[in-house]
Amino acid sequence: MEAGSLVLSIPNAALASKLKQRLPKLQESLAKRGWQVNAIRIKVQVERPVEKPVQAPKAELPRNAVVAFGKLAESLESTGRNEELKAALRALVRHHGDNAPTGT
C-alpha cells in the first residue's frame, strides 16, 4: 500500500493485462472487506533467471610436475619455516599422484 493505492508487482505483461481487466471487481471486493483502496496500480517486474555458476574444470598436473613437486618437498631443508611448505607439497603430490596424466 502506498498512500491509499494498492501496488501489485506482476511477473509478466500477459498476467498484468489480464489482471487490469479485473481491477474494478478486485477494488470492489476489497472495499466490501473493509480495505480502503483508492486505486490499484500494477507494476510489471520481470525476474531475471538465476544463472548457475560455471564450475571450473578440475586442475590436472602432468606426471612430471607431480614428480618435481615431490622431489622439491624432499630436497627442502627441514626448518621451521619450510615445514608447512613441505607438508603442502606432499599433500599436493598425494592428491595429484594417482590422477596425474602420463606424458608431459
Q: What is the pTM of this model?
A: 0.42
Rounded Cα–Cα distance for residues 75 and 69 (Å): 10
Q: Are residues 67 and 40 in the same domain?
A: no
Q: Which residue's entry shows cell 602432468?
A: 62
| pLDDT tens for the chain, residues 1 to 104 | 767 788 888 888 888 999 999 988 988 888 898 888 888 888 888 777 778 888 888 778 888 999 999 999 999 988 888 899 999 999 999 988 765 555 44
Specify the number of domains making up the chain: 2
Q: Is 52 inside a domain boundary?
A: no
Rounded Cα–Cα distance for residues 104 and 89 (Å): 20
Residue 39: strand, helix, or coil:
strand
Q: Is 49 inside a domain boundary?
A: no
Q: Are residues 9 and 37 in the same domain?
A: yes
Q: Is 57 inside a domain boundary?
A: no
DSSP 8-class letter at 100? P
Structural domain boundaries, residue 85: 63-97
